[in-house]
Amino acid sequence: MSKRLTGLICALALFLSLSGCAAPPKEATSQIFAMDTFMTLTVYGKGIETSAEAALDQMEDYIYALENALSVTREASDIHKINTAGGESVEVGYAAAGLLDGALELCEQTGGALDVTLYPVVKAWGFTTGENRVPGQEELAALKDRVGYSAVELDGQTVTLPAGMELDLGAVAKGYTGYQLAVLLKELGFSSACLSLGGNVQTIGAKPNGDPWRVGVQDPESGNALAIVDVIDKAVVTSGNYQRYFKENGQIYGHIIDPDTLSPADSGLASVTIVADKGLYCDGLSTALFVMGLEEATHFWRQHRDFEAVFIGEDGAVTITAGLEGSFSLASGYENREVTILE
Ligand code: AMP
Ligand code: MG
């Protein structure tokens, strides 16, 4: 299985202090591997009673705790408990219940393009196990009855899932985590940070000098930064089949599944980047709009208009939503790429 782990990168332009100006706020950075992703956490300044280093320690503990609760492959996780309960109700923690609640709402809102019950299908294609294979049509048809988010019952922190069905919150967990970390940092009194969780970037406030964060959008083909989106206090989340895929007989099979066909989404898009306030919304939509394809995704955006998006087609065509017009720029080497702006 191929994996590109570079993801989105916060362009952490060095804070240049002019001679005679006040010293720049102190920066603390840590890099960890969690949730199958390399994460870079950068925090500036000092909290109310917490140093940036202490905040990083708290964030790392929080990430590992969320990973333990939400991972589909960890046997002690809430999700694993739900998946192995054989139809019995399971009491889960605050994080799993909160994330599932938000995710189910997004499944509904996206007309099922996002579906948190695809785990039997994800496994059939060998994603998460690392042993990729192309399942036959009969095998996929037999999985149809084991998929469908509307069968998930959530009552407070109690989850009931019909026997044979299995949850996978992989499409939303990192976006949720980024946002929860932003809430934690703000509670601790920090107002400037950039958290890069693979394809999920969560920014807190602006850069220490007041400028927006410059978040790179990757060229799905080369892995270089194709464009930059300037944001303050927002999440920027990208989904793309290039992030995880396998090749068989010259054909590429990506990890984002179309719930209608139970096969890798083949909508003509190479990546979708969503910019909005909340990471869970961004993460759920980046996956769902990738499944929908450009036309349906455009319709969805026009109906909602509470997020912005960058779509990169398999042919390299770049399309952005109107709200990004002032904050989107092509990166060096891509200046001649045509950009369509959706109104
Ligand atoms: P993301 O990288 O956020 O787009 O999430 C992709 C991951 O979510 C995959 O690796 C699967 O584990 C899972 N997944 C794949 N397709 C879907 C889908 N249509 N709805 C929900 N989860 C999905
Ligand atoms: Mg997602």
Q: How confident is residue 24, by pLDDT bands cut at 50, 70 and 90?
A: low
What is the rounded CA–CA span in Å between residue 238 and residue 283?
Answer: 7
Is the Cβ atom of 229 under 6 angstroms away from ligand 1? no
Query: pLDDT digit string (tens) for 195-214?
Result: 999 889 999 999 999 999 99
Q: How confident is residue 155, by pLDDT bands cut at 50, 70 and 90?
A: very high
pLDDT at 1 over 50: no
Angle at 287 between CA 303 and CA 72, to 5 degrees: 135
Is the Cβ atom of 124 under 6 angstroms away from ligand 1? no
The 8-class DSSP code of residue 337 comes to -
Is the Cβ atom of 283 under 6 angstroms away from ligand 1? yes
CA nearest neighbour of 279 among 187, 176, 169: 176
The CA-atom distances, in angstroms, between 31 and each of 56, 171, 221, 237 are 10, 22, 26, 19
Residue 108 one-letter amino acid: E
Residue 322 one-letter amino acid: A
Q: How confident is residue 25, by pLDDT bands cut at 50, 70 and 90?
A: confident
Is the Cβ atom of 284 under 6 angstroms away from ligand 1? no
Ligand nearest to the backbone CA of 3 = 1
pLDDT at 123 over 50: yes
pTM for this model (two decimals)? 0.93
- Average pLDDT value for the chain: 92
**For ligand 1, what atom is nearest to the CA of residue 240?**
4
pLDDT at 199: 86
As a whole number of Å, the CA-based R_g of the chain is 20
Range with the poorest average pLDDT among 8-22, 243-257, 262-276: 8-22
**For ligand 1, what atom is nearest to the CA of residue 175?**
3
Is the Cβ atom of 265 under 6 angstroms away from ligand 1? no
CA–centroid distance, 41 to ligand 2, in Å, is: 20
CA–centroid distance, 23 to ligand 2, in Å, is: 39
Query: pLDDT digit string (tens) for 299-328?
Result: 999 999 999 999 999 999 999 999 999 999
Residue nearest to atom 23 of ligand 1 (CA): 171
**Mean pLDDT on 282-287:** 98
Query: pLDDT digit string (tens) for 326-341?
Result: 999 999 999 999 999 9
Is the Cβ atom of 171 under 6 angstroms away from ligand 1? yes
pLDDT at 235: 98
